Amino acid sequence: MKQKIFLLFLSALPFFAMAQKKITVSGYVKDVKTGEALISASVYISNEKRGTTTNSYGFYSISVTQADSIGIVISYQGYTPQLFTVSGFTDQTLDYNLLEKPNDLNEVIVSSARNNNNISKVRMSVINIPMKQIKALPAIAGETDILKILQLLPGVQSGKEGTTGFYVRGGNSDQNLVQLDEATVYNPNHLFGLFSTFNTNAINSVTLIKGGFPAQYGGRLSSILDVTMKEGNKKKFSGEGGIGTISVNLTLEGPIKKNKSSYIISARRTFFDLITKTVIPKNKNNTTYSFYDINGKVNFELGKKDKLYLSFFTGLDDAKYAGASSLNYKINFGNSTAIARWNHLFNNKLFSNTSFIYNDYHLSLLTTQDKYYSQLYTGIKDVNFKTDFSYFPSSSHSIKAGFNYAYSTLFPSTTSAKVPRSGNINKPNLDSIEKQYSSIVAFYINDDITVSEKLGTSLGVRVPVFIKSDITYTTVEPRATIKYQLDDATSIKVAYTIMNQFQHLVPSSTASLPTDIWISSSRIVKPQTSQQIALGLFKNFKDNVYEASIEGYYKTMNNQVLFKEGAQSIQQTAIDTKLTFGNGQSYGAELFVKKNAGKLTGWVSYTLSWAYQQFDSLNYGKQFPFAYDKRHNLSIVAILDLTKKWTLSAAFVFTSGGAYTLPTGRAGVYGDGSLYDGTYNDYTARNNYRYRDYNRLDLSARYHWASKIFGKKYQSELVISVYNIYNRSNPYFIYLTKDPVTKNIKVIQVSLLPIIPGISYNFKF
């Protein structure tokens, strides 16, 4: 039945694309100073009161009814909007260059030109965060970070402090597809999750999609975080860098051939390890930490219709931590990606991109706690080939279609037991880990249809096929979003999506540390599937200065994976046999109010949500709260451009405590059961207790100034930041101790991050 609907949909597309007396206006929108593509810039046709946005390469194409002249407004947040009038008789290829606004020009915006993409676009549950705003937000130890800012958005929950990952609309952290230039980043974190692997100086744009997923995205249930690297300055050699409390970074970029090709190279490294080596004697140095990441990209214009992009990213973390008395761990993990992309413009209505992506990820973790250890190794190697076409046949249609083939090799291994008396824990033998080979082939097509001035829809379907030696899963994922615009400042939208996921991170819901491990779908491990419906009301005020939205969602998730009760591997055996499978559901409401312009900008985000799971073999088969079921989640973010030189920012976060499991009763063991420690526990429900509520306030002050060195102009910035300014002891994890004689039980809460002051100096030339 699903296949029939799909075929019907495909056959109907040409009828939608009926030709009229139209011309096509197409081109690129770029930064005037650097030539950098501006992604998701608004291109608005004032004659027809409608518009489009640029794609990931800054390209746009829109069909317009023939006219003597056409008014075009180009806008992008943080840039001065521009109004153009062009001839409307023939097709036009028009590249536009926008100028970044200086800090003091926030007020001088032509109100009609401030875009209302959040109202007019069919997409919902999508948030674009301008890099300028990211860089202005409070820093931790002098470093601004994308993931920390994501966690301030509605529907996004942070994990425990010091652990990796974020959680979107009740989904586990593995259900987020994090992409850097289309390459999957399996672990986007540095420093126990304090920072992401994304160096803000090398990033062009960040988009988070939580629902209403367009068909070009697949492979994850809960969200897409699409991060695009800068292309490099095509106009002149330039650079920026900085030194913070724990790291130093440098980015250099410039033209290879002016206005035609460019490069960018960006590197960041901690010096924490170098300092601790000198300050603490080697034999007492139980806490060391180092990370680095390097981003590089070159791009070439191969004529007017072809562009080639070559980029890479590599990052590594290596840490040894001896923190709370019960806890030690050693971790080493890294992501490396290499990407080649070729853009081809067939004509002004058909744009294509072909990508070849190589990805290598590994994580090796050894944790000891309470005389027990957990050792895991998880590795993933992906080779990915994809081709995407964007076709703009008429003013009513914007069609995307594509094909994707990915070949993955996963190396999962996990062992856990009591620490041997010798204290020596053998490293896993990587050659003996059973490898999991699989392929995914996916096809998709998506059409953004403008039915009328008020009504728009985005319809799509994705067909992924998962292939493993002994099993094949073929699934069909319909996607639909409908927008009805009540007026220029108000719209309502509804979205329905089905998603599938073939790679799974098996979480340990009770362990205090990230002992999660990636595995592939198999005959035993069925693909995770989700259905999500979201409904939203979007309203802008005061000429789009204020954006507000309220979204409700309901999501079901099948074939969720958890470890069985008591599952413990003392040897590297098939992990599949240690797993149990169940379902999940989540629902909630998200309120978002954002101020885009003025001296004071920022947002308030509040999420009220519920997330539950049900596994036949867990919790007596009854439903239980998801570990990250946090009822209330409030974020308040403010950025104040106090003067031309001073910018102040603050971020306050409050979240309800996550869930964890403790026994509710206990009983004695008699009859010479001395090895039972004298008691056994009566668990009445899983995840029955809650951590203490989490809250913290971060502050940051930035001082900017310009200076000249050897006649060359430099911009400098001093950032003073304080993380967790009132030094709240937020819970990291909880463990129990029992006196062997009195049998009295004590509950110990471990907190990781107290007040952390930071200072950094940044420069740009």
Residue list 218-257, contact with other proteins (CB under 8 A): 245-246
Given a contact cutoff of 8 angstroms between Cβ atoms, the answer to whether 657 and 693 are in contact is yes
**Binding string to other proteins for residues 261 to 280, with x set by CB under 8 A, is what?**
-----------x--xx--x-
Judged by CB under 8 A, the residue of 287, 314, 352, 695 near other proteins is 287
Please give the Cα distance from 428 to 368 (Å, whole number).
15
Find the part of the chain contacting other proteins (CB under 8 A) among 109-117, 226-234, 295-303, 743-751. 743-751
The answer to whether residue 512 forms part of the interface with other proteins (CB under 8 A) is yes
Helix (H, G, I), strand (E, B) or coil at 598: coil
**Binding string to other proteins for residues 639 to 668, with x set by CB under 8 A, is what?**
----------------------xxxxxxxx
Copy the structure tokens of residue 275. Answer: 């300092």
The answer to whether residue 304 forms part of the interface with other proteins (CB under 8 A) is no
The answer to whether residue 157 forms part of the interface with other proteins (CB under 8 A) is no
Site for other proteins in 548-577 (CB under 8 A): 562-568, 570
Copy the structure tokens of residue 353. Answer: 């991109």
Please give the Cα distance from 108 to 101 (Å, whole number).
10
Judged by CB under 8 A, the residue of 654, 735, 763, 765 near other proteins is 735
Judged by CB under 8 A, the residue of 682, 705, 706, 715 near other proteins is 682
Residue number, 429 or 469, with CB nearest to other proteins: 429
Strands 327-347, 306-322: pairing is antiparallel
Given a contact cutoff of 8 angstroms between Cβ atoms, the answer to whether 659 and 699 are in contact is no
The answer to whether residue 364 forms part of the interface with other proteins (CB under 8 A) is no
Site for other proteins in 410-439 (CB under 8 A): 416-422
Q: What Å distances lie between residue 246 and 81, 291, 292, 374, CA to CA?
A: 38, 10, 11, 29
The answer to whether residue 1 forms part of the interface with other proteins (CB under 8 A) is no
Find the part of the chain contacting other proteins (CB under 8 A) among 304-312, 429-437, 455-463, 506-514. 506-514
The answer to whether residue 669 forms part of the interface with other proteins (CB under 8 A) is yes
The answer to whether residue 93 forms part of the interface with other proteins (CB under 8 A) is no
**Burial 724-756, CB ≥16 within 10 A → b, else e:** bbeebebbbbeeeeeeeeeeeeeeeebbbbeeb
The answer to whether residue 103 forms part of the interface with other proteins (CB under 8 A) is no
**Cα three-residue angle 345-347-348, rounded to 5 degrees:** 95
Find the part of the chain contacting other proteins (CB under 8 A) among 2-10, 516-524, 604-612, 746-754. 746-754
Find the part of the chain contacting other proteins (CB under 8 A) among 40-48, 296-304, 678-686, 700-708. 678-686
Side-chain-facing half-sphere of 262: CA atoms under 13 Å: 23
Quick one: which of 739, 748, 620 has its CA closest to 679? Answer: 739
The answer to whether residue 740 forms part of the interface with other proteins (CB under 8 A) is yes
CB of 370 to other proteins, least distance (A): 6
Judged by CB under 8 A, the residue of 11, 672, 708, 711 near other proteins is 672
Q: Distance of alpha carbon 672 from its chain centroid, rounded?
A: 54
The answer to whether residue 486 forms part of the interface with other proteins (CB under 8 A) is no
Judged by CB under 8 A, the residue of 261, 374, 475, 607 near other proteins is 374
Quick one: which of 218, 119, 271, 156 has its CA closest to 630? Answer: 156
The answer to whether residue 621 forms part of the interface with other proteins (CB under 8 A) is no
- The burial class, CB within 10 Å (0-12 / 13-18 / 19+), for 703 is middle
Judged by CB under 8 A, the residue of 325, 432, 470, 710 near other proteins is 325
Judged by CB under 8 A, the residue of 620, 646, 705, 706 near other proteins is 620
What are the residues whose beta carbons fall under 8 Å from the beta carbon of 633, sequence distance 6 or more? 154, 157, 605, 606, 607, 608, 609, 654, 655, 656
Which residues in 475-578 belong to E strands, given as ranges? 477-487, 490-501, 503-506, 517-520, 528-541, 546-563
**Binding string to other proteins for residues 693 to 732, with x set by CB under 8 A, is what?**
------------------------------------x--x
The answer to whether residue 743 forms part of the interface with other proteins (CB under 8 A) is yes
The answer to whether residue 14 forms part of the interface with other proteins (CB under 8 A) is no
Q: Which residues pair with 505 in a beta bridge?
A: 518
The answer to whether residue 753 forms part of the interface with other proteins (CB under 8 A) is yes
Judged by CB under 8 A, the residue of 574, 759, 763, 764 near other proteins is 759
Quick one: which of 466, 431, 426, 642 has its CA closest to 559? Answer: 466
The answer to whether residue 290 forms part of the interface with other proteins (CB under 8 A) is no
> What is the total count of residues that contact other proteins (CB under 8 A)?
97
Judged by CB under 8 A, the residue of 87, 677, 707, 715 near other proteins is 677
Residue number, 140 or 459, with CB nearest to other proteins: 140
Q: Sign (positive/negative) of CA torsion 76, 541, 153, 444?
A: negative
Judged by CB under 8 A, the residue of 15, 671, 709, 710 near other proteins is 671
Site for other proteins in 112-141 (CB under 8 A): 141
Residue number, 275 or 600, with CB nearest to other proteins: 275
**Cα three-residue angle 376-380-381, rounded to 5 degrees:** 150
Quick one: which of 410, 520, 409, 405 has its CA closest to 463? Answer: 405
Residue number, 699 or 759, with CB nearest to other proteins: 759
Please give the Cα distance from 241 to 239 (Å, whole number).
7
Residue number, 213 or 289, with CB nearest to other proteins: 289
Given a contact cutoff of 8 angstroms between Cβ atoms, the answer to whether 192 and 259 are in contact is no
The answer to whether residue 494 forms part of the interface with other proteins (CB under 8 A) is no
* Neighbour count for residue 569 (Cβ, 10 Å): 19
